[in-house]
Amino acid sequence: MPHYQLTPDAAEDIERLFLFGIERFGVKQATKYLDGLKLRLLHIAESPRTYPLVEHIRIGYRRSVYGVHAIYYRAIDNEAVEITRVIGREHLDAL
């Protein structure tokens, strides 16, 4: 069954964006955004080739944009993808 795994950086990115969302938009909206993000991660795991390669950033990596965040990932094998970063416009230098 297709699945995804988060790198420590990606897990921190998601925690940070959720906490920022709570501060800025409230718990309800932050939770709604996080739920949508999790659905996107599942979609990536199920259909990893849906989104474009970004080999100018790193060979073998792809990017999916969700809201104001870019999700960077790579296929590990036929059943798994590794989510490496979830970055907002303000953190693009983290790549």
Closest alpha carbon to 75 in 64, 65, 67: 64
Query: What pLDDT shows up at residue 88?
Result: 87
* Length of the chain as a residue count: 95
Q: Where are the domains of the chain?
A: 3-94
**Domain covering 3-94, topology:** YaeB-like fold (3.30.2310)
Q: Read off the amino acid at residue 48.
A: P
Percentages helix, strand, coil for the chain, rounded to the nearest 5? 50, 30, 20
Give the pLDDT band (50/70/90) at residue 77. confident
Query: What pLDDT shows up at residue 45?
Result: 96
pLDDT tens digits, one per residue of 37-76: 999 999 999 999 999 999 999 999 999 999 999 999 999 9
